[in-house]
Amino acid sequence: MEQTQILSVTDINKYVKTLFENDPLLPEVSVRGEITNFKAHYTGHLYFTLKDEYSTIKCVMFKGYAQFLKFKPADGMKVVIKGQVSCFERDGVYQIYCKSMSPEGLGDLYLAYEQLKEKLNKEGLFDDIHKKPIPFLPKRVGVITSRTGAVIRDIINVSTRRYPNVDLLVYPAAVQGVNVASTVIEGLKTFNKLKNVDVIIIARGGGSFEDLFGFNDEALAREVFASQIPVVSAVGHETDFTICDFVSDLRAPTPSAAAELVYPEYSEIVSRIDKDKNRTIIAIKNYIERKRQYVERLKAAKLEKVPLDKINRYRLTIDNLMIKSEKDLRNKLNGYKTRCVESITKIDTLSPLKTLTRGYSVVENKDGKLIKTTKDVKPEDIINITVTDGKISAIVK
């Protein structure tokens, strides 16, 4: 009788593991199921069970793979995992070693976006009470965007068309890719440290949800919320919404719309002054007319029946009222004139022509691009010099 070979527990588990590894299907499988018994270990490893209506299977995702997840797994979440089925020799159990995981029927980026949105909303970062007002007439506007491309050109074109004395300070930042959040955060910190702008515009053109995902970063959202300078978010098109939009002080549907919201129309300012002037004139005329009617009523009264001393008192009262009225009218007129002069002076002071009259000039190349340093030109380049009374064309020698 042949003697049966006696094996150790370890030998059996090793053999079973070899069977798993040599199977043509099990080294690379995709499995759909619902997460249960989820545990995130302090080491960064994830342990959970995947189940369907009939069975369960243990799963583990080591830190090296778990760190790339764009969402936070939780019990009850239906997912699709990819990995290898193998045997854990020590316990003699088989499990799936996960390499990737995605929510079933919902992209992991969108799920991460919704989770962060809900988290920050519960913390109150989106509440209107925290929104800072945008200044009516900012002296300087900081723009965080790419230094090249249509976005900055659109902002410049719209701003200069609406208001003649535009002062923009651009902080170049990445608007797509892995460096979006870090560079935009650096721009916000720089402006808040220097305090050299009155309002900040964060701008980026349209794109896919994935293209705009850098603006859904939690650290960026908290930096926007903490900014002491009002922030206008102009990321994507009108239908695009990012976390940056929700936490900012004002959301603009497009970068061009951000420029319109920040810079008032010059004609609107002049129109507002004219309206104030007309209202002032009408108010003064009405005031004088009321006083005139009051005097007429006094004159029409039957004064002959009033004793002479009472008549004299009325006369003194009327004289005093007329003097006071004239004084009040003069004070009000002077006040309105002063306000009008201050408004007109402020507008005139902000005019770019004032800068030219002080001896400064604006130098541009033939394409209209500003020349700031000697590196911007080379010999024989044609340049245009704008002075107070016209333009001069010149050749660089």
83-100 pLDDT, tens digit each = 988 888 787 788 899 999
| Of the options 3.40.190.10, 3.30.420.40, 2.40.50.140, 3.40.50.150, the CATH number for the domain spanning 9-106 | 2.40.50.140
The amino acid sitting at 126 is F
For residue 39, CA distances in Å to 36, 64, 75 come to: 9, 16, 9
Pairing label, strands 168-172, 141-145: parallel
Determine contact, residues 134/262, Cβ cutoff 8 Å: yes
The overall pTM is greater than 0.85: no
> Under the phi-then-psi rule, with left for phi > 0, alpha for psi from -120 to 50, and beta for the rest, what region is 249?
alpha
* Highest averaged pLDDT of the listed ranges 19-23, 39-43, 230-234: 230-234
* Residue whose pair of structure tokens reads 């976006």 in the numeric block: 113
Least confident of 157-171, 247-261, 348-362: 348-362
Structure tokens, 364? 């541009």
> CA of 47: how far to CAs of 38, 43, 58, in Å?
6, 11, 8
Average pLDDT over residues 60-74: 87
> Comparing C-alpha atoms, which of 276, 232, 7 is closest to residue 138?
232
For 108-145, the pLDDT digits (tens) are 677 788 889 999 999 999 999 999 999 988 889 999 99
Would residue 105 be called left, alpha or beta, if left means φ above 0 and alpha means ψ between -120 and 50 degrees?
A: left
Look up the CATH superfamily of 111-127+137-264: Response regulator (3.40.50.2300)
pLDDT digits (tens, 9 = 90+) for 136-180: 888 899 999 998 888 999 999 998 888 878 899 999 999 888 899
Tell me the pLDDT band of 192, cut-offs 50, 70 and 90: very high
**Which has the closest alpha carbon to 343: 279, 269, 242, 265?**
269
Tell me the torsion sign for CA atoms 180, 182, 186, 189.
Answer: positive
Domain boundaries, the chain: 9-106, 111-127+137-264, 267-350, 356-395
Quote the pLDDT of residue 219.
Answer: 94
